[in-house]
Amino acid sequence: MPSYESSPQGGARIFSALLASRTGQILSESRAWRMETALKPVMRAYGVSGIDELAAKLLANRDSGLEDAVINALLNNESSFFRDLQIFDMLNRQILPSIYANRKDRVLRIWSAGCSTGQEAYSLAIQFRNDMARWRGWHIEILATDISTAAIDQARSGIFTQMDVQRGLSVGDLIKWFEPVGDDWHASPELRRMIEFRTDNLFEPRAPSGEYDLLLCRNVLLYFTPERRQDVLRLLARHSHQQSVLLLGAGETVIGHSEDFTPHPEFRGSYGRRPVVTDPAEETVRRAG
């Protein structure tokens, strides 16, 4: 780590390095710029007045609680219900009906990777609950993972602020699926039961198991270096099958980052596994044993 004493920017550099080593995320200029604001609650909690003093405290004590607090504060947990409405519209009109038609064992597995405070996973649960007549008899699993313990704790609680529930959530779904708790809103047990929230690191994954039919990793890759993006896409490929659908955030792509995924031929803006092309020569050798 760079010396805290050596530079007035030492604190910021130390925290950037900590974030990169713990999460693989690189701080963009805009996020670096608001680092001090993001860390203010941590500074207050630890009784220090500046970012460099906080870095010094971290280096002196190697306090894992402080490290976690810093990481949680620096991660961008911005999320909203039904973020990018057209994606959810495509899910509803095309992707889910296709899975419904093709998945004969009536098992649907979804992974929301980098789920932040859970709005994406809850949006999916709402979609299924609103269309329960169709999905009755299906086993639907929604795994939602994020590296931020604070984000996962909030997601698991199902409690959202008034501001949160007004971003993307229709008033009809608010009334139907949330109960007021003081000034906040609590997701119904029916929704919460559908989702398994797990703290997990995309570079040391423990939560995902087997293959998922639908993988959402939206607005996650943009925080990583090109090499790290490749690692994440390789992980997603390992947990997908030939019919799986991958959804990334607007402005994110697999092109140039993955040999495994390719733009989906049917669902515009989504990705599918690259078709397996058998080399005739290899096939001859394989058959010949």
Partner 1 sequence: MKNCLVVDDSKVIRKVARHILESLDLSVTEAVDGQDALIQCEAAAPDVVLLDWNMPVMSGMEFLRALETAKVTARPKIIFCTTENGISHIKAAVDAGADEYVMKPFDRETLESKLSIVGVI
The count of other CB atoms within 10 Å of the CB of residue 167 is 15
- Between 48 and 159, name the residue whose CB sits nearer to partner 1: 159
Torsion of CA 112, 207, 177, 106, to 10 degrees: 80
- Between 13 and 176, name the residue whose CB sits nearer to partner 1: 176
- Between 101 and 163, name the residue whose CB sits nearer to partner 1: 163
Distance in Å, CB of 220 to partner 1, minimum: 21
Q: Which one of 1, 85, 107, 285 is in contact with partner 1 (CB under 8 A)?
A: 85
User: What token pair was written down for 43?
Assistant: 């500074």
Distance in Å, CB of 172 to partner 1, minimum: 7
- Between 34 and 206, name the residue whose CB sits nearer to partner 1: 34
17 lies in the site for partner 1, by CB under 8 A: no
Q: Which of residues 127-166 bind partner 1 (CB under 8 A)?
A: 162-163, 166
CB 262 within 8 A of CB 272: yes
Side by side, the strands of the sheet bearing 107-113 are 195-199, 139-146, 107-113, 212-217, 240-248, 271-273, 261-263
- Between 146 and 164, name the residue whose CB sits nearer to partner 1: 164
Backbone angles phi, psi at 252, to 5 degrees: -105, 150
HEC letters along 97-155 = HHHHHHCCCCEEEEEEECCCCCHHHHHHHHHHHHCHHHHCCCEEEEEEEECCHHHHHHH
Distance in Å, CB of 177 to partner 1, minimum: 12
Three-state secondary structure call for residue 78: coil
Distance in Å, CB of 188 to partner 1, minimum: 13
Torsion of CA 226, 150, 249, 85, to 10 degrees: 180
- Between 46 and 185, name the residue whose CB sits nearer to partner 1: 185
Angstrom distance (rounded) from CA 36 to CA 254: 33
Distance in Å, CB of 80 to partner 1, minimum: 7
Distance in Å, CB of 155 to partner 1, minimum: 20
Number of residues that bind partner 1 (CB under 8 A): 15
What character string, x for contact with partner 1 (CB under 8 A) and - otherwise, covers 162-201?
A: xx--xxx-xxx-xx---xx--x------------------
Count of alpha carbons within 13 Å of 54, Cβ hemisphere only?
29
Angstrom distance (rounded) from CA 174 to CA 49: 41
- Between 172 and 210, name the residue whose CB sits nearer to partner 1: 172
Q: Which one of 80, 154, 230, 270 is in contact with partner 1 (CB under 8 A)?
A: 80
Distance in Å, CB of 119 to partner 1, minimum: 12
Distance in Å, CB of 40 to partner 1, minimum: 21
- Between 52 and 120, name the residue whose CB sits nearer to partner 1: 120
Write the CB contacts of 156 (distance below 8 Å, at least 6 apart in sequence): 118, 192, 197
Write the CB contacts of 61 (distance below 8 Å, at least 6 apart in sequence): none
The contact set with partner 1 (CB under 8 A) reads 80, 85, 162-163, 166-168, 170-172, 174-175, 179-180, 183
